[in-house]
Structure 1
Amino acid sequence: MFKSSIAVAALALISQVAAHGYVPFVKIGSQVLPGWDVNTDGYTTPQPSRIVRATKPDSGFIADVNSGDITCSIGNSKLPPTEITATVAAGQTVTALWNTWPVGHYGPVLNYMARCPDSGCSKWKGDSGSPWFKIQQSVYENGQWASDTLAKKSDFSYAIRIPSNLKAGKYLLRHENLALHGATNIGGAQFYPVCIQLNVTGGGSFQPTGNLNFPGAYKATDPGIHFNPYQGEAANRAYVPPGGPVYAGLQ
């Protein structure tokens, strides 16, 4: 009986982890790189260095916009043991390969970047000051939320184009699914941020100063966070996501 109880509990834990989305792989060009696999990487000693910031052995959501986890993931305080980045040319595409995403978790997909300090990305949390700037977003298009497009038409993948005029250097790319299916109530929105450590090459001379901070950029009462996605087509088309517009001057 005792062993059976343990087995049932273990299966429940596995089901809970498997039920939420995370990014175990990232594709740049034709190369597929390891992201962070919550089923294995969090249990490995020593902790593996990955280009995707570690999350605790749970791919669940963040509900509190003021939590330090909103920057990059659940357990954002744990930095990689060594510096590791993926090289991408400015103008190239970074594709986040999600393990899954549930249809009906309606919401936008939002993408931000922040330039890492000279000490490197792996030694920097990105949770102080206002280093972040929005580079891309997908909302409600052709009668479908971006999250459902990711799940139904894109094989759980999302392509993020790195601005072609961005100054070369090391950056964090913050890729986020925002689920609004429970957002009719304040505090009901679900945030799934993922941070990818990049070394951007080529590019131009444009270096955004940053105008957003995480935590701090979002408020629970923002109209793009406290939102009812069941109001119908017109309301969904009029939806304005949090974080403001894409940063001016990016190409």
Structure 2
Amino acid sequence: MKNSNSALIAAGIFVQMAVLAAGHSIFQQASSGSKDFGSTCVRMPPNNSPVTSVSSKDMACNVGGSKGLSGICEVKAGDEFTVEMHAQPGDRSCAHEAIGGNHFGPVMVYMSKVSDVTSADGSAGSWFKVDEFGYDASSKKWGTDQLNANCGKRSFKIPSKIPAGDYLVRAEAIALHTAGQSGGAQFYMSCYQVRVSGGSRGQLPAGVKIPGAYSASDPGILIDIWGSSFKEYKIPGPAIIDQSYF
């Protein structure tokens, strides 16, 4: 009987781990207007597992994301750009949740200007935030809920008043289902290699370093979203850049 109980417990743990892993996901495609870039300019991580340490160098562009590739997504300043998240590589089926398993949390997009987007690792410059959706208390919907409702897509505007050139675009979702304990938040991000034309000759917006923008104890990272006291949510990191840049 003891062996039987142990087998049942082990089976239960395995099923629970499989369910949690099923919620893992990857930002892996992009588009702009009628142009579908697919995965040509995204630095894909080796798998759909999250980053869990806010001090890890992988926080910038995920595991393996410091290495560039040849593909570049070319857009104009002021264009709409859409990032796309799905659970498995190459899977764009809208029949599947973009990020499931109760992986609720915010979605954010950062940009960083670099000299050569095919080789920059994201550590030298600063990152400024251009888009975010956290939690809407009135509807009780998260940014990840919006991803699921929109076939994994999140669209934002490339600021029209930033200098032309090469940029890393960093799309990120933070899953908070186990964030009630330190190190429990799960970070899913990918970097897209983007070349912006047009724009202005003005200064870049102020930015932050990644890693460095987040602390493990930030209220938007160390948080129990299941508790009865949860009412509102503070998105981690800097605010979106001033609207004058758009």
Q: Confirm or deny a common fold (TM above 0.5).
A: yes
Q: Name the Cα RMSD after superposition.
A: 2.4
Provide TM-score, normalisation by structure 2. 0.80
Distance of 1:235 and 1:91 partners within structure 2: 37
| Structure 1 residue 16 displacement after superposition | 9.4
The residue correspondences of 1:42-81 to structure 2 (distance < 5 A) are: 50-56=40-46, 58-80=47-69
| Structure 1 residue 74 displacement after superposition | 1.4
| Structure 1 residue 19 displacement after superposition | 5.1
Structure 1 residues 209 and 94, CA gap change in structure 2 (3 angstroms): closer
Question: Which residue does 1:5 correspond to in 2?
Answer: none
Distance of 1:89 and 1:65 partners within structure 2: 32
- Structure 2 residue runs of 5 or longer lacking an equivalent are 1-18, 87-97
SS in 1 for 2:167: strand
Question: Which residue does 2:114 correspond to in 1?
Answer: 116
Percent of aligned positions that are identical: 32
Question: Which residue does 2:220 correspond to in 1?
Answer: 224
Tell me if 1:23 matches 2:27.
Answer: yes
> Match for 1:199 among 195, 198, 204?
195
Structure 1 residues 162 and 77, CA gap change in structure 2 (3 angstroms): closer
Number of residue equivalences: 216
> Match for 1:34 among 33, 38, 42?
38
Question: Which residue does 1:174 correspond to in 2?
Answer: 170
Tell me if 1:94 matches 2:64.
Answer: no
Distance of 1:53 and 1:154 partners within structure 2: 22
Distance of 1:146 and 1:209 partners within structure 2: 24
| Structure 1 residue 126 displacement after superposition | 0.9
**Is the CA contact 1:104–1:148 (under 8 Å) kept in the aligned structure 2?**
no
Provide TM-score, normalisation by structure 1. 0.78
| Structure 1 residue 138 displacement after superposition | 0.6
**Is the CA contact 2:68–2:117 (under 8 Å) kept in the aligned structure 1?**
no
Structure 1 residues 235 and 16, CA gap change in structure 2 (3 angstroms): closer
Structure 1 residues 203 and 79, CA gap change in structure 2 (3 angstroms): closer
Question: Which residue does 2:234 correspond to in 1?
Answer: 240
SS in 2 for 1:147: helix
Distance of 1:77 and 1:111 partners within structure 2: 17
**Is the CA contact 2:171–2:190 (under 8 Å) kept in the aligned structure 1?**
yes
Distance of 2:227 and 2:156 partners within structure 1: 29
Distance of 1:114 and 1:69 partners within structure 2: 16
Q: Aligned AA for 1:94?
A: F
- Structure 1 residue runs of 5 or longer lacking an equivalent are 1-14, 36-49
Structure 1 residues 179 and 163, CA gap change in structure 2 (3 angstroms): same
**Is the CA contact 1:105–1:148 (under 8 Å) kept in the aligned structure 2?**
no
Question: Which residue does 1:161 correspond to in 2?
Answer: 157
Following TM superposition, the consecutive aligned residue runs of length 4 or more in structure 1 with deviations greater than 3 angstroms are 15-19
Tell me if 1:139 matches 2:134.
Answer: yes
| Structure 1 residue 131 displacement after superposition | 1.2
SS in 1 for 2:147: helix
**Is the CA contact 2:28–2:44 (under 8 Å) kept in the aligned structure 1?**
no
